């Protein structure tokens, strides 16, 4: 009995621990809820181990204790999936625009697999190897070249025997389909999630049509991650589900949204918000927002429910707590959390003890403390996508002249 | 050469590493800037290791790897002080209102000292042992009884040979003076910081008068922590400084504020905000807010500059980056952070590369993404303080009847 | 030369006065811009002459000097159309729900025609007789009965020889078509405007389809009034225009929106906002918002541009000022208004003189001064329309029991 | 029996009409509430008869029907005082900075007196002749010169036999004292109100001290008008009252605040807000805000309660309705207004009928409909006052070069 399932047998476990033996498809086929983890690049950026800009995961090799600790926190919060910290770990991305990690792609991908496996084995979790969109695609490289990129990461995942694969964070369904086609060759279960909203992908393909193409390419699980807030993302997955069902196909559904409110986003998502990536704090969801999200996702028929950028362990715990009855257990970290604020009964101040109730937190409209700031922003809308010159990626650092052109273009928008 | 000072010799170190040999007073007397850490209870609550309500630090003994990791992140972010994670670790507090940690006060305090020392030795940092306000004082126990409480924690700090002592998070200067008097007996340097704002302590004693009393009691460093946002706290420390200078006394000054905007608080601080403690997200300061804070604190003559609840490692890093020229070095974690957003030069999207400049981030007014929420709240104002019946603390859990009375009182406010 | 065209010959007239001889269709056919007036019920409610709730126009007979003065202010602000103040002046509406005006429908309609004519003759304006939706329709009366209601108002308009007719403020295109059919029989030009947004009428008929039906019924001018803010309304008229053109039909277009921002409205418009009708102040458009509106409307090919609820004379003046070059003249009231704030050059305070420029006002983001209030509301969404029992109208006052039922239903929504 | 008191005898009059025979002091001495009117320059600016910038009242001579109508609306709303529309009607102000009214100061002042008297005689109202601060004072002219300016306006007031005099809208108590000294010579009752807030006048004199000086100079009524919102203004009058009572003096108190929320103002009031004067709409008070204001003012012992810039007739009516029981009558205009929204019982839509209750409106937090705008602004703070070169007034229009200097200074603030 491992350290986390041990916890599950104490008072705050509603029914008892699940065995960790079954694969992702067995679980989903059995109607189980699978809880994902949160986005590592944002969480580790705040902890000092990821650089905003390149967003590459060399910390897996450089600072394994920091990455391991974050895995553990998500596991403890209820995650059933440890995604390898391999976001943007394709060779072409690692060396993009002047970024020069001290480790090779292979080193990083291997280290990430080892960490995910180590922690997954401490509890009831699966390891998922992930690939994501490539600079090569944006720079209009051929299908063959792009597929070769995915293949190289995949070799590591197979060697390290991950439990299943995720093609995630794709803005163009075309590239996601290529990824799925490569991943399928391994025989492992394949999930595919796009970073799009209800308006569809960057080429204007609707969520319904995107989902159909991914399922036809072989993905068993399809859905949405990143770029939009939870309720918007659930909305987009619903559209995917309708499309798949209308086409007479079958799939499981996943959602791993932002932990940021994005009601003002256009089709490009939070990347277009003026606050991205260093001014997003006022948009962070509370744990109570997460309860609503988990319920909505569940009600929409989604069973792989996790998070992306902005999610901290307590956000995942809130998802797990909302679905505790359906899952039959509370997460380990709930030993440190009274349901719906009940822990406040132990607070020193009487008026804070008076907040120890669901009704209080469910109806709170939290203030920003920023009266000089607006509540919504006007997103940038450069409207450029694959094919636009400004999107060509390069190994060399962006030059001063290139930057000046960007500043000028920025002002004229 | 240790792992963190090694980093300091690379490109992003402006001048070079400082030796870690000098004590807190030597540093402050020499005019050095000492950077504090962030608040552990809030950071670890989000990570799943502290329970909101009791807010006790048993994780030091239960989950040392999680506490060690947080220490490391603050050290890496630039902190020169590792505070022992001993907040509310007095025996009377540990057993308050039904809270029953699996470890004794001595076990927790010892474990916390060991962790702080272990990480401090990895870089240029001092270990500070901290005591804070007690339920005994609120429950009107005698000076002798309250002092005995502090004495017990202190025994551990002496045994573990911390570098200096902090009496922090006191709402009543009277109790803080008692704490300072006990701490002084050890011969270690003593810092004292109150959790008050410009309106003064809960008995209405002004910041200026509070500071004078603390200095007269023997504190060499005085200031403010917790309860208010950075600029408000700096304002209160300025008032302390004026009071001390007017009284012909001398002291060093410290400030360790919240990372939450609190323009709408009354004298009780963020505890009175309806958002406390589970809806504060929209108030979290950005890293750019931290630059302003660090500059204001420095300009006010404060040289011990840190954080409290809400601070994450990247907030402390921002303080260290703002003061990099004055300190002569950048923190280790700046290897993963381009100054003023410069890392964005390596971003995929051209319009995000266009944000790689100070002017952009310094003038951003970040939106909350919450158009249905207000920008300010009306704080609770029960106005109860030491002596009020509702503040009497008890070992037993709050009963349902007691809770009902609180809910009713809450509605009638 | 009348008193208003006299003004037009002074310095602030760009080209010179227009003759008042031509009818509405001649003007629109010639490509002229026709400026409407503002909504009388809201403006006169604030002045103390209309009762919110019944919203009936008995003031035309009771307080003619107040109504005449408002007509004059709009004429002076640039209006080319004086709408008779006959909103809700159908007999069935006048006696609805306990409302008992001291005057008959005929008296009110006649008085309103006389006032509109008197002031129209003082300047370059036409008189438009208006009918609007009836309680009879909502209460499911027959087409014949509803048409008879319109017929009665129409008799007065013919007797008083108004210049053209407007069927306005219809939520259901079916009823609007009935109105148009009745109005057409007079041989006068007929305009028809619905109080709907881009989502269409209360039965879900799209703006495009609504417009086609109205044109086919004989309306020469079609468009939108009330219920939504200017930019939303212009959007809906664009959809109408597209529909009409797609159907191979021809029409002129009109828009007379609210002077309130309504980004948070559903299909029912501002009636559903919790602020309706007594808390709308923070939503009032500035004159600069009106400049944008006028330009958008003009660019969309709309040539009959006016206002509805919330419009004050200075709002119409802003429309006229924005289109001064296209119209070849400034309105009379511009003698008291420097273009884009130029009058501030004469202000006492130097920092206010510094605001005498277009760039300042065009970019201002005006604060609400209400930090405890949200920026958007969640609209009521009872979703009831023609046919729902709660919409049955009655002559008798709403009883206490009926009110209690409504309050209860309100809380449960 | 006149037309307005006639109304008072109908159903909505609670007790009955007051006779109009008594003077202002007799009324106040008897403990009566005297309701003032609203600010004419702002109301008539919106109607197209006053030019923002010079803000002069030539419309009294030019457009008497518009001014008369506004007087009538305030009378009907409950005003007991008709202030002559003579704001800034001193000769030096009329010819300031290129402003060239077509009428002389005497013509304007006389016309204004006649209009006020005509309407006052239609109901239960007194006529008050008003003088306000002068450009001469700001330009550092001598006491003698400034007093001569007041004297000239006063000659008209005496000739026209106004009922009492008000020295209002003074930013410097020194100039207000001069005005009071001149007005006192007439033997008429004298009221004096400053446009200051709790921070005191532009020279830093506290409200308490200002009030004492004014009472000593002979003012029988002292208070505050313009520049701040109602609750702030009531606060300042309270400070005046305390000062007067502490000094052992006696006085009556008046308050005529803005109808704009100004929580973000500094000592200069709304003039410093970036929204002044053309973007203030989102700050307009609702009628329910006025209820709170009236109650607060009454509770503070203020008995002359009126309004200034931003007040429309319905705002004054709300004041009169809140104090209906204390005054023993409802205003005439309440015939068109159900108390606390009761008129909505007659609304067509059931969910609007559900809003016909005090509880609904009293607790509404009205949204701005402007999610891109902040809730508070940072006021301009040029901090210039009498003596600063930029405040020197001139007859000639501001030149382009002068404007450029202002724009540049504006940007550098």
Tens digits of per-residue pLDDT, A299-314? 999 999 999 999 999 9
Task: Please report the pLDDT score of residue C9 as a whole number.
Answer: 37
Q: Which residues of C touch B372 (CB under 8 A)?
A: 374, 376-378
CA distance C303 to B338: 54
- Does any CB of chain D come closer than 8 Å to the CB of residue A372? yes
Residue A265 marked ligand-binding: no
Q: Which two tokens stand for residue B195?
A: 């959790």
Q: What is the mean pLDDT of residues B374-400?
A: 85
Tell me how far CA of residue A204 lies from CA of A201, B243, B390, C109, D78, in angstroms: 5, 65, 60, 54, 61
What is the DSSP secondary-structure string of A84-125? -S-TT-SHHHHTGGG---SS-HHHHHHHHHHHHHHHHTTTT-
Task: Please report the pLDDT score of residue B241 as a whole number.
Answer: 98
Task: Please report the pLDDT score of residue A360 as a whole number.
Answer: 96
CA distance D313 to B57: 62
Chain C partners (3+ C-beta pairs within 8 A): A, B, D
CA distance C196 to C217: 18
Q: Which residues of D touch A372 (CB under 8 A)?
A: 374, 376-378
- Does any CB of chain A come closer than 8 Å to the CB of residue D375? yes
CA distance C49 to D336: 6
Q: Which two tokens stand for residue D114?
A: 């006649």
Q: What is the mean pLDDT of residues B264-284?
A: 96
CB-CB under 8 Å, D376 with B375: yes
Q: Which two tokens stand for residue A195?
A: 């970073």
* C94 confidence band (pLDDT: 50, 70, 90): confident
Q: What number of other Cβ atoms are within 10 A of residue D392's Cβ?
A: 12
Identify the residue with better confidence: C140 or A165: A165
Greatest Cα pair distance, chain B, in angstroms, is 66
CB-CB under 8 Å, A374 with C365: yes
Identify the residue with better confidence: A408 or A390: A408
Per-residue model confidence as pLDDT tens digits over A253-278: 999 999 999 999 999 999 999 999 99
Task: Please report the pLDDT score of residue B390 as a whole number.
Answer: 79
Report the share of chain C in percent with pLDDT over 70. 95
Q: What number of other Cβ atoms are within 10 A of residue D218's Cβ?
A: 14
Cα angle C111, C115, C116 (rounded to 5 degrees) comes to 115
CA distance C192 to C291: 25
| Beta bridge partner(s), residue D83 | D128
Task: Please report the pLDDT score of residue D202 as a whole number.
Answer: 94
Tell me which DSSP letter residue A200 carries: B
Task: Please report the pLDDT score of residue D2 as a whole number.
Answer: 39
Per-residue model confidence as pLDDT tens digits over C321-355: 999 999 999 999 999 999 999 999 999 899 999 99
In this prediction the ipTM stands at 0.94
Tell me how far CA of residue C311 lies from CA of A129, A280, C196, C259, C308, in angstroms: 60, 38, 18, 5, 6
CA distance C189 to A393: 62
Q: Which two tokens stand for residue B390?
A: 């509702």
Using a cut of 0.95, tell me whether the model's pTM lies above it. no
Per-residue model confidence as pLDDT tens digits over C110-122: 999 999 999 999 9
CA distance A186 to A188: 5
Per-residue model confidence as pLDDT tens digits over C187-202: 999 999 999 999 999 9
Tell me how far CA of residue A270 lies from CA of A44, A135, A230, A273, C308, in angstroms: 19, 19, 12, 5, 37
- Determine phi and psi for B126, rounding to 5 degrees: -105, 155
- State how far Cα D202 lies from the chain centre: 19
CB-CB under 8 Å, A374 with D372: yes
Compute the mean pLDDT over every residue in chain D, rounded to the nearest whole number.
92
Residue D339 has pLDDT above 50, yes or no: yes
Q: How many CA atoms lie within 13 A of A152 on its CB side?
A: 19
Task: Please report the pLDDT score of residue B190 as a whole number.
Answer: 98
- Does any CB of chain C come closer than 8 Å to the CB of residue A371? yes
CA distance D393 to D304: 33
Chain B partners (3+ C-beta pairs within 8 A): A, C, D
CA distance B330 to B314: 13
Q: What is the mean pLDDT of residues B279-283?
A: 98
Total CB pairs under 8 A between chain B and C: 19
- Does any CB of chain B come closer than 8 Å to the CB of residue D400? no
Listed residue (C146, A47, C186) closest to B44, CA to CA: A47
Listed residue (D228, D236, D320) closest to D283, CA to CA: D228
Listed residue (D380, B331, D202) closest to C364, CA to CA: D380
Do C200 and C59 meet the contact criterion of CB atoms below 8 Å apart? no
- Nearest CA to CA, how far is D373 from chain B (Å)? 10
* C374 confidence band (pLDDT: 50, 70, 90): very high
- Does any CB of chain A come closer than 8 Å to the CB of residue B313? yes
* D21 confidence band (pLDDT: 50, 70, 90): low
- Nearest CA to CA, how far is B219 from chain A (Å)? 27
Ranking B7-21, B125-139, D37-51, D395-409 by mean pLDDT, the lowest is B7-21
- The alpha carbons of chain C give a radius of gyration, in whole angstroms, of 21
What is the DSSP secondary-structure string of D91-127? HHHHTSTT---SS-HHHHHHHHHHHHHHHHTTTT-EE
- Does any CB of chain B come closer than 8 Å to the CB of residue D365? yes
Binding site members of C for Zn(2+): 226, 308-309
CA distance B29 to B23: 10
CA distance A298 to A326: 10
Tell me how far CA of residue B279 lies from CA of B3, B150, D1, in angstroms: 38, 32, 62
Residue in C260, C348, C380 closest to D351 by CB: C380
- Does any CB of chain D come closer than 8 Å to the CB of residue C404? no
Q: How many CA atoms lie within 13 A of C263 on its CB side?
A: 15
CA distance D107 to A157: 93
Q: Which two tokens stand for residue C349?
A: 């305070």
- Determine phi and psi for B218, rounding to 5 degrees: 120, 0
Q: Which residue is it, tokens 């501001």? A: D398
- Does any CB of chain C come closer than 8 Å to the CB of residue A365? yes
Task: Please report the pLDDT score of residue B13 as a whole number.
Answer: 38
Q: Which residues of A touch C373 (CB under 8 A)?
A: none
Going along chain B from its start, the domains and CATH numbers come out as: 19-332+368-412 (3.20.20.330)
CB-CB under 8 Å, D375 with B375: yes
Q: Which residues of C touch B262 (CB under 8 A)?
A: none
């Amino acid at each position: 009995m491992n350290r986390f399932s041990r916890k599950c047998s104490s008072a705050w476990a509603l029914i008892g621990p699940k065995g960790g033996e079954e694969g992702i498809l067995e679980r989903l086929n059995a109607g189980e809820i699978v809880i994902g983890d949160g986005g590592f690049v944002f969480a580790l950026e705040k902890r000092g181990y990821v650089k905003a800009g390149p967003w590459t995961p060399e910390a897996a090799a450089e600072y394994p204790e920091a990455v391991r600790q974050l895995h553990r926190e998500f596991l403890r919060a209820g995650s059933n999936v440890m995604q390898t910290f391999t976001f943007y770990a394709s060779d072409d991305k690692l060396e993009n625009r002047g970024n020069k990690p001290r480790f090779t792609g292979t080193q990083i991908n291997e280290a990430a697999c080892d960490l995910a496996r180590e922690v997954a084995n401490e509890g009831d979790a699966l390891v998922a190897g992930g690939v994501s969109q490539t600079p090569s695609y944006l720079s209009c490289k051929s299908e063959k070249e792009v597929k070769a990129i995915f293949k190289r990461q995949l070799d590591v995942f197979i060697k390290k025997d991950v439990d299943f694969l995720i093609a995630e964070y794709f803005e163009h369904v075309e590239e996601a389909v290529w990824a799925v086609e490569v991943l399928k060759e391994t025989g492992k279960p394949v999930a595919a999630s796009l970073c799009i909203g209800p308006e569809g992908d960057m080429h204007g393909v609707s969520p319904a049509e995107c989902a159909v193409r991914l399922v036809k390419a072989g993905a068993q699980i399809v859905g949405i991650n990143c770029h939009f807030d939870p309720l918007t993302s659930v909305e987009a997955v619903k559209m995917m589900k309708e499309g798949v069902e209308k086409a007479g196909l079958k799939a499981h559904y996943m959602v791993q949204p932002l932990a940021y409110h994005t009601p003002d986003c256009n089709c490009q998502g939070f990347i277009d918000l003026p606050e991205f990536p260093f001014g997003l704090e006022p948009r962070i969801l509370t744990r109570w927002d997460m309860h609503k999200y988990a319920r909505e996702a569940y009600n929409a028929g989604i069973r792989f429910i996790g998070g992306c950028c902005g999610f901290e362990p307590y956000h995942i715990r809130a998802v797990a707590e909302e679905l505790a009855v359906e899952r039959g257990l509370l997460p380990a970290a709930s030993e440190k959390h009274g349901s719906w604020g009940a822990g406040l009964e132990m607070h020193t101040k009487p008026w804070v003890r008076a907040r120890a109730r669901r009704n209080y937190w469910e109806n709170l409209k939290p203030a920003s403390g920023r009266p000089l700031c607006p509540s919504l922003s006007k997103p940038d809308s450069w409207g450029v996508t694959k094919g636009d010159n400004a999107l060509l990626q390069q190994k060399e650092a962006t030059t001063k002249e290139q930057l000046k052109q960007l500043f000028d273009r920025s002002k004229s928008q």
